[in-house]
């Protein structure tokens, strides 16, 4: 398969189950919302070391937020519910509670996937203690909020957040004859994906140059450089790049469900190919471990042929 001169490998991206939640951050104006979200989502690229993969899903107009102010929707994904419940109150306490004019609310209410309210993700439940006994609880329509006194007035946040089973690790790899062209292709892909609901690309600018494989020669590491796609290691038997490839970048996608990741993969690949197919981007492929890492498989040819989701041909997981 070729799109605008770019060869699309007949392969699949392998993704896996994660625990996730969604927050709404609001503020006096978009500038303060952006500052809070920059801090909240910082050091949130990969669960390998960051605890969560977290990024802004979309910005919100005042008529889309609980308190009628500008806001942003943030998606967060963790390897376990325990880690999610640890990371969210910590990040909100250090990065949003501290940011002037902000408030935080549960954003899971309008998701199309099942949302769990049992054993919820704590928010005000934990942060209220900063009020040192001066905090005030209020329930509106059976939803509990906290008002915590701070120096610009009050920090308002919801007592807790719902959580859901999300998917992490959707991906595609862009291969080209220079770093410049592959970086441009990545930017075209991630900017196109940014307009879509239900997904985030958590790495810087939406892409990573340090694509990893499972395992390492060093016992202390459970992930290490993916030498199969490193141009300086093309001499190795396991190399999967040809002589004309001098740079590879990976776009990683986390999403609320299979359809969201499938759509983002398709949109991103098309944007990259149409922007840079005539400039030196010559191949798009995907990362997988033969189906051993995750049960969700996104087959590139099926996605680009118009299938809304990419069914796995294996018998292990017919739902993907």
**For position 36, which CATH number holds?**
3.30.70.520
Question: Within a domain: residue 315?
Answer: no
Q: What is the pLDDT of residues 11-33, one digit of tens each?
A: 999 999 999 999 999 999 999 99
How high is the mean pLDDT of the chain? 94
Domain extent at residue 143: 19-164
Same domain, 35 and 9: no
- Which of 101, 135, 164 represents a domain boundary (last residue)? 164
- Which of 118, 139, 164 represents a domain boundary (last residue)? 164
Same domain, 149 and 179: no
Are the CB atoms for 254 and 199 separated by under 8 Å?
yes
Token readout for 268 is 């991103």
> Does the pLDDT value for residue 75 go beyond 60?
yes
Question: Within a domain: residue 160?
Answer: yes
Pairing of strands 153-158, 103-106: parallel
How far is residue 200's CA from residue 77's CA, in Å, rounded to a whole number? 10
Q: Which of 298, 102, 58 is nearest to 201 (CA)?
A: 58
The predicted model gives 260-267 an average pLDDT of: 98
Number of domains in the chain: 2
Question: Within a domain: residue 292?
Answer: yes
Same domain, 209 and 299: yes
Question: Within a domain: residue 265?
Answer: yes
Same domain, 185 and 243: yes
How far is residue 167's CA from residue 144's CA, in Å, rounded to a whole number? 29
Token readout for 303 is 């996605």
Q: Count of residues for the chain?
A: 320
Q: Which of 54, 52, 57, 85 is nearest to 71 (CA)?
A: 57
Q: Is the dihedral of CA 307, 312, 315, 319 positive or negative?
A: negative
Same domain, 111 and 31: yes
Question: Within a domain: residue 7?
Answer: yes
* 163 beta partners: 116
pTM for the model: 0.92
> Does the pLDDT value for residue 249 go beyond 60?
yes
Same domain, 37 and 120: yes
Question: Within a domain: residue 279?
Answer: yes
Q: Which of 181, 173, 198 is nearest to 264 (CA)?
A: 198
CA dist 42 → 22, 38, 52, 102, 205 (Å): 16, 6, 10, 17, 12
Give pLDDT, residue 66.
97
Same domain, 61 and 44: yes
Same domain, 6 and 54: no
Question: Within a domain: residue 317?
Answer: no
Question: Within a domain: residue 44?
Answer: yes
Same domain, 259 and 143: no
pLDDT > 90: what percent of the chain?
90
Same domain, 78 and 154: yes
Same domain, 10 and 25: no
């Amino acid at each position: 398969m070729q799109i605008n001169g770019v060869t699309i490998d007949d392969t699949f991206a392998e993704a896996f189950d994660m625990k996730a939640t969604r927050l709404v951050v609001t503020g006096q104006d978009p500038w303060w919302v952006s500052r809070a979200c920059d801090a909240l989502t910082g050091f949130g690229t990969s669960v390998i070391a960051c605890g969560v993969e977290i990024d802004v899903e979309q910005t919100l107009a005042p008529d889309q937020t609980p308190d009628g102010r500008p806001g942003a929707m943030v998606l967060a994904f963790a390897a376990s519910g325990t880690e999610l419940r640890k990371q969210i109150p910590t990040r909100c306490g250090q990065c949003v509670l501290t940011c002037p004019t902000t408030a935080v609310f549960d954003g899971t209410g309008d998701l199309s996937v099942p949302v769990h309210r049992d054993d919820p993700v704590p928010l005000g439940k934990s942060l209220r203690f900063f009020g040192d006994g001066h905090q005030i609880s209020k329930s509106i329509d059976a939803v509990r909020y906290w008002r915590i006194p701070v120096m610009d007035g009050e920090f308002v946040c919801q007592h807790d957040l719902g959580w859901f089973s999300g998917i992490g690790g959707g991906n595609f790899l862009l291969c080209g004859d220079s770093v410049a062209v592959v970086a441009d292709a990545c930017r075209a892909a991630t900017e196109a994906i940014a307009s879509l609901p239900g997904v985030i690309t958590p790495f810087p600018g939406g892409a990573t140059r340090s694509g990893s494989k499972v395992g390492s020669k060093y016992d202390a590491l459970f992930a290490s450089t993916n030498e199969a796609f490193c141009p300086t290691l093309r001499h190795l038997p396991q190399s999967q790049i040809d002589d004309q490839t001098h740079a590879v970048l990976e776009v990683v996608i986390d999403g609320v469900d299979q359809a969201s990741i499938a759509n983002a993969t398709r949109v991103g690949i098309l944007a990259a190919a149409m922007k840079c197919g005539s400039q030196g981007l010559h191949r798009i492929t995907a990362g997988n471990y033969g189906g051993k890492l995750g049960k969700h498989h996104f087959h590139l040819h099926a996605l680009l042929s118009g299938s809304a989701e990419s069914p796995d041909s294996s018998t292990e997981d017919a739902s993907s």
